[in-house]
Amino acid sequence: MPKDGDGDFNPRVESPSQPVEPGVDRNMLTTDSIEILSKLVGFKSLSGQSNHDIADYVETFAKSLGAAIQRFPSADGTRTSLLVTLGPMVPGGIVLSGHMDVVPAGNQSWTSDPFALREADGRLYGRGAVDMKGFLALALSLAATIPIAELTKPLHLAFSYDEEISCEGVKPIVCHIEKSVPKPLAVIVGEPTELQVVGAHKGALDWTVEVLGKAAHSSLPHLGANAIHAAARLVCEVEQIAREFEKQPSPNTGLYDVPHPTVTVGVIEGGTAGNVIAARCSFQMEARTLEPGQATTIFERISNLARDVVLPGLRATAPGSEIKITARFDIPPLVREASSAAEQLVSRFSSSSNVKAVSYATEAGFFQAAGLPTVVFGPGSISQAHQVDEFIDKTQFKEGGRVLAQIVQTLF
């Protein structure tokens, strides 16, 4: 299974020796959050595609503030994550984290261009307006308006790529903070929560299992190795694991509508004809976990059964048989820590006293897994994410800016 935060990376560190980068006119960069959001929405930063335009914009913006900047390029060099630091490099800072990528606009009919911000009826429309360029705009606007020279602790902005498809972009950021940055007090992942503090979310994991057997005529099954039958053994094990999870208590289960881990098979395909022993079968399984280690339990159960029982059965008649298990993504859960500095900090300024849990996954679990106190907190509703005519409520947007400003004031 992949290890969160592992992987080679080569961050480029830029620490300007003067407050404003030469050649960058700070007066040319707006501090208005809606204008910044309009600029960000205008970048078609689809997951898996180049994001250099939006990353370069953020870097230029940060340079104008005299920030220290780290770039974390993807393996193929087409995408970049950024870590921007304002203020002294000392412990106790705050990380505002979000992703720059968005999902495609789709083929459905939008009222207007999805990559041009439109304001109407108290709403700000555009792809990424709520998920989650709205939060990025607030973070940049805040960074541009605070008296940076007076900061006694740092403000970090962590902007990633490919959150929507793999969360790969956040991993090198987390690894760098863990190894090279004085430990922050709190990480705030700004996914849309309607400005309610989210202290827990489920992990999300996805594996593809491919079984390779041997074809034969159905009247002579002993001459082949049935990949569908072998895969069925593994699918039944997935179902057994799911039933066991239903009966096992887990901490923080009261926070969730489904109070236990889930694991399901959603896609299966194989075979060529009814009278042919199937030479190949594959299935896709997904898990939603509540605690670290549950993903390992699932993986080991399936892989051990495949290695010790199912594969030997296939190889009895087809020595070249194989079973391949490939992880597509592995996002750790965010586990509730009621006493964490992040939850206590954000709860001080949130208008809601209740801490929530959500069943969808975010990048927050990666930060927590690295020992960083983390919550999810941002403006807007997740129900608007990935939708036609995606929008963020303007009142929520402005209130989010106000609350973030209060939180950042604790750094002075």
Angle at 171 between CA 165 and CA 173, to 5 degrees: 125
Alpha helices by DSSP H, 282-363: 294-305, 311-315, 341-349
Q: How far is CA 72 from the centre of its chain?
A: 16
Q: Which residue has the tokens 């309610």?
A: 196
Alpha-carbon span 123 to 393, nearest angstrom:
5
Handedness of CA 30, 35, 36, 42 (dihedral sign): negative
Give catalytic status of residue 59 as yes or no.
Answer: no
Q: Which residues pair with 161 in a beta bridge?
A: none
Task: Name the DSSP letter for residue 223.
Answer: G
Q: Catalytic residue, from 101, 168, 330, 393: name it.
A: 101
Alpha-carbon span 35 to 136, nearest angstrom:
12
- Kindly list the strands in the beta sheet with 262-270, ordered across the sheet, starting from the edge strand earlier in the chain: 262-270, 280-289, 203-212, 322-331
Give catalytic status of residue 113 as yes or no.
Answer: no
How many residues are recorded in the chain? 412
Distances (CA, A) of 275 to 91, 211, 216, 228: 67, 19, 9, 13
Alpha helices by DSSP H, 248-319: 294-305, 311-315
Contact assessment for residue 86 and residue 48, using Cβ atoms and an 8 Å cutoff: no
Q: Which residue has the tokens 């399984």?
A: 285
Contact assessment for residue 66 and residue 37, using Cβ atoms and an 8 Å cutoff: no
Alpha-carbon span 261 to 267, nearest angstrom:
19
Residue 132: cis peptide before it, omega within 30 degrees of 0: yes
Q: Catalytic residue, from 163, 164, 237, 343: name it.
A: 163
Contact assessment for residue 241 and residue 251, using Cβ atoms and an 8 Å cutoff: no
Residues contacting 330, CB < 8 A, separation 6+: 1, 2, 4, 203, 205, 206, 295
Handedness of CA 60, 65, 66, 68 (dihedral sign): negative
Q: Which residues form the catalytic set?
A: 101, 163
